Structure 1
Amino acid sequence: MNLVLTEEQRELRGTVRSFLAAASPLPEVRRAAESESGYDPAVYRRLNGELGLAGLIVPQEYGGAGAGYAELAIVLEETGAALLPGPFLATTLAAILLTELGDKELLPAIAAGTTVATVALDGDRALNGAEADVVLMVDGTRVRAVRGGGRTPLTTLDPTRRQARVEAAGGETVASSPEGMERVRDLFAVAVAAEQLGVLRASLDAIVAYSGIRVAFGRPIGSYQGVKHKLADMHCKLEQAESIVRNAAWAADEAPGELPLAAALAQAYVGRACFEVARDSLLLHGGIGFTWEHDAHLYYKRAKSDEVLLGPPRIHRTRLADLLEL
């Protein structure tokens, strides 16, 4: 097992990070989130057209890049750190589902970036459900593709990622696989944990930078022992979270038998760690961190919404305990 990024993976990370810094900095994230669509379609087209990220894990025979989950985790970490608004995570989850279940109809359009797809994760609730061309409804082990129909926007905690309630009637069955669905759920956990890792890292970077310039009683607040100890604790959570996510992505690519345990650990640990770091970052910013104008609350809201996206943390802790036979 090698959890250190290869040269090609570091280049991928640098490319995505540079693109997002130029095309979707935080002021643009705010503007896009407050727009009618909730995201910038031009950025999304470039993300898929120039970088081909919508088809990153889609097999080459369906028009994708055929990359692994290690590469996908790198990309999702960067989109999470940038708080990228829009349907990228939603379409990624749809691509995971269809790739694992062997769909041949929808994958080419998803890989090309011409079809926005999403998955109903909780009954009829779907990420970016109002913007999606196709909603994949999971009924046990059967997956239905629903086009059109009623889409009711929901009021959500995270203003950078919208959700909608989708009318579940109708639709065509595109796949059915009990064994495949178990792996799909584990891969969803890995994907969301990768985004959480990016949110965690960006939250820590922000408060470390602020601690070096914010002066209280004639000294930068980062020089005070209480702040230094808190930052050290946050950094330890980042180091552990990164190792857990890298291991889970490696298991998805190289060790399928180890994936269930690695995925359960990723959600049990990384989700809580991400929220705690985002929360402490907001608190250490002091009064300014609570203002609408500051970005700390955006990371806090993304961290909390991601923590419960795949179910409450107790579900993942229980599954982890079961797998460890505790």
Structure 2
Amino acid sequence: MNFAFSEEQEELRKSVRRFMEDKSPTSSVRAQMETQEGYDREVWDILNNQLGLCSLAIPEEFGGAGFGPLELTVVFEEMGRALFCGPYFSSVALGANAILQSDDEVAKADLLPSIASGETLVTLAITEGDGRWDLDGISTTATAIDSSWVINGEKRYVIDGSIADKIIVVARTTDGISMLVVESDAPNMTITPIVTLDSTRKMATIEFNGTPARLIGTQGASARAIETTLDLAGVALAAEQVGGASRCLEMAVDYAKSRIQFGRPIGSFQAIKHKCADVLLEVESAKSAAYYAAWAASEQNEEFEISAPLAKAFCSDAYFKAAAENIQIHGGIGFTWEHDAHLYFKRAKASQLLFGDSSYHRERLAQKIGL
């Protein structure tokens, strides 16, 4: 078993890193944080027209490049490293994956090509007022009226919900959990942007009051597809967290080498050495967990259900520790708005809670292995 990335995958990493360094420096990140949309449309067009990143893991028959989770892991890791502001995670890790996991070939042929080109932004709406990410928390309902459907309920923490062209809504029907797609300009729907700890990832609350929708797949048969989508999104988030943690380690080490105190670099003091060494261990272990989960996802084997919650739990804690220690090593300046350390800290904390916190995923892991 070889966990090393191929030459082509490493070339992809180099291309994405160059793009992020050019188009997503922290000055750009800060600028997009202050906007309502939260991303630069021109950068988004270049990302798709020149790099084709939205098409990466979509099958060729639906206008994609036909790659898989390993290539996405490379991309998400580099985006996490740069705190990239854009609807890539919502469209690719959530929306596209939900459609791909469905049994609706017509919906795939209809929706995926425009997602692959980046023309259509799509997201997934699951969580409700109780903040739960499991399907038992779904109370939003979808009702069939003649040959159409309407949705009633409220969804919270919808990533890029205010800018998505299409929203995949998880709702409860008479036969069970179903997926439906709602157009952003549909009537009887209210979309409200919300302020969160992490301004680099925009979220919204969406209220449905008899909102017309289109059913995806078989009514009441979407539970498995949604669970798999959430695991795939968790693996993508783990890769993003690895990228962010790696960047925190780089920032801390660079500062420890250059900051002079008592006539010597602070990196020469044992306490700082220990902090950096501990973070390095966390980052390297997180890489192993994320890469293993991505490999299992690409192989579509039985290990995926175990490795996905493991990666999400471990990488969440590793990123948070790396971001917190980065601030500690920087000292007073690390707490200021002007320094970038707090941007990573906020992303780390918000990501730790996204799709459920570490305790939730450890409990899922324990149940899956029979503990």
TM bin, normalised by shorter chain, reads over 0.9
Kept in 2: contact 1:121–1:310 (CA 8 A) = no
Letter in 2 for 1:116: L
Larger deviation, residues 199-208 vs 27-36: 27-36
Residue 182 of structure 1: aligned partner: 227
Q: In the TM superposition, what whole-angstrom CA distance separates every residue of 1:253-289 from its partner, at most 9, and x where no partner exists?
A: 1142110100010012111111111111112111101
Counterpart in 2 of 1:157?
197
Please say if 1:100 is aligned against 2:101: yes
The higher radius of gyration belongs to: 2
Q: What are the residue-to-residue correspondences of 1:75-114 with 2, within 5 Å? A: 75-92=75-92, 93-102=94-103, 103-114=108-119
**1:312 maps to which residue?**
357
> Residues 37 and 162 of structure 2 are in contact (CA less than 8 Å); yes or no, is this contact kept in structure 1?
no
Give the conservation status (yes or no) of the 8 Å contact 1:57–1:95: no
Give the corresponding residue for 2:215.
Answer: 173
| Alignment partners' CA distance in 2, 1:227 and 1:181 | 44
State how 1:258-269 maps to structure 2 within 5 Å: 258-269=303-314
Residues 1:147 and 2:172 are matched in the alignment:
no
Query: 1:155-203 deviations in whole A, cap 9, x for unaligned?
Result: 1101111100112343211234333333222212111111111111111
* C-alpha distance after superposition, 1:268-326 (max 9, x if no partner): 21111111111111121111011001000000011111111101222101011112222
**SS of aligned partner of 1:64:** coil
Tell me the CA shift for residue 121 of structure 1: 3.6
CA distance in structure 2 between the partners assigned to 1:178 and 1:89 by the alignment:
21
**Structure number having the greater helix percentage:** 1
Q: Tell me, in whole angstroms, the C-alpha distance in 1 between the residues paired with 2:323 and 2:4.
A: 25
Query: Residue type of the partner of 2:336?
Result: T
Correspondence for 1:73? 73
For residue 230 of structure 1, what is the aligned residue in structure 2?
A: 275
> Which amino acid in structure 2 is aligned with residue 221 of structure 1?
I
- Cα distance in 2 for partners of 1:100, 1:210 equals 45
Residue identity in the other structure for 2:248: S
Secondary structure at 1:171's aligned position in 2?
strand
Residue 305 of structure 1 aligns to a residue whose secondary structure is: helix
Specify the code of the residue in structure 2 equivalent to 1:179: R
Match of 2:322 among 260, 273, 277: 277
In the TM superposition, structure 1's runs of 4+ consecutive aligned residues that sit over 4 Å from their partners are none
Amino acid at match of 2:274: H
Q: CA deviation at 1:122?
A: 1.2
Aligned-residue CA RMSD (Å): 1.3
- Give aligned pairs, total: 326
Normalised TM-score (structure 1): 0.97
CA contact (8 A) 1:58 1:107 kept: yes
Is the contact made by 2:59 and 2:66 (CA closer than 8 Å) also made in structure 1? yes
Higher strand share: 2
Which sits farther off after the overlay, 98-107 or 201-210? 98-107
CA distance in 1 between counterparts of 2:39 and 2:222 reads 34
Distance 1:194 1:226 in 2: 29
CA distance in 1, matches of 2:22, 2:351: 25
Identity fraction in percent = 43
CA contact (8 A) 1:59 1:99 kept: no
- For 1:224 and 1:89, how far apart are their aligned partners in 2? 40
Distance (whole Å) between structure 2 residues aligned to residue 160 and residue 182 of structure 1? 26
Q: Which residue matches 1:129? A: 161
Structure 1 gap segments, 5+ residues each: none
1:64 correspondence with 2:64: yes
Match of 2:121 among 112, 116, 122: 116
Letter matched to residue 5 of structure 1 = F
The 3-state SS of whatever aligns with 1:164 is: strand
- 1:196-219 CA-to-partner distances (Å, cap 9, x unmatched) read 111111111111111111111111
Deviation for aligned residue 1:139:
2.2
**Mean Cα deviation higher: 210-219 or 161-170:** 161-170
Please give the residue correspondences for 1:209-224 in structure 2 after superposition, counting only pairs within 5 Å: 209-224=254-269
